[in-house]
Amino acid sequence: MKTRIKQLRLEKKLTQQSLAKQLGVNQATVSKLENELTTLDAMLLIRLSCFFHVSTDYVLYLSDQRLSADLLLAENLHHLKKYQHLISLYQKLTPKQQTDCYNFLSSILDDHENR
């Protein structure tokens, strides 16, 4: 069964070993899947889809669209709820706490970008 596992793995600059670790399988399993020497079970297909943020159809060459409309909507709703929660927490802070929070987050981003 042809899959896009190798293509997706290389896009993320992952080794077979590092992908295997992320998926909870051994490197030999990833190698066999990429070389079409074994078939992909449903649970591993779902883990791959979630890890790479693509649809299962995309992994299996059944679609050229990385995400289905339903997956995009679900992902956007998840993020929207998370952001709404963060905004509500931020709004409960005093103006001084909001300034401190902003400065703290900015410093974290600056540290990350300078590495």
- Asked if residue 50 and residue 25 are part of one domain, the reply reads yes
Does residue 69 have a pLDDT over 70? no
Q: What is the pLDDT of residues 70-103, one digit of tens each?
A: 666 677 787 788 889 999 999 999 999 999 999 9
* Six-digit token string for 62: 């059944």
**What is the amino acid identity at position 104?**
F
Residue 14 in domain: yes
Nearest of 72, 68, 69, 48 to residue 59 by alpha carbon: 48
- Asked if residue 53 and residue 19 are part of one domain, the reply reads yes
Please give the model's pTM, rounded to 2 decimal places: 0.58
- Asked if residue 13 and residue 43 are part of one domain, the reply reads yes
Residue 41 in domain: yes
Mean pLDDT of 28-32: 97
Q: Name the residue range of residue 23's domain.
A: 5-59
- Asked if residue 50 and residue 84 are part of one domain, the reply reads no
- Asked if residue 76 and residue 52 are part of one domain, the reply reads no
- Asked if residue 38 and residue 84 are part of one domain, the reply reads no
Residue the block writes with tokens 């399993």? 29
Residue 64 in domain: no
Domain count, the chain: 2
- Asked if residue 73 and residue 52 are part of one domain, the reply reads no
Residue 44 in domain: yes
DSSP-assigned states of every residue in 43-81:
HHHHHHHHHHT--HHHHTTS-S-SS-HHHHHHHHHHHHH
Helix (H, G, I), strand (E, B) or coil at 91: helix
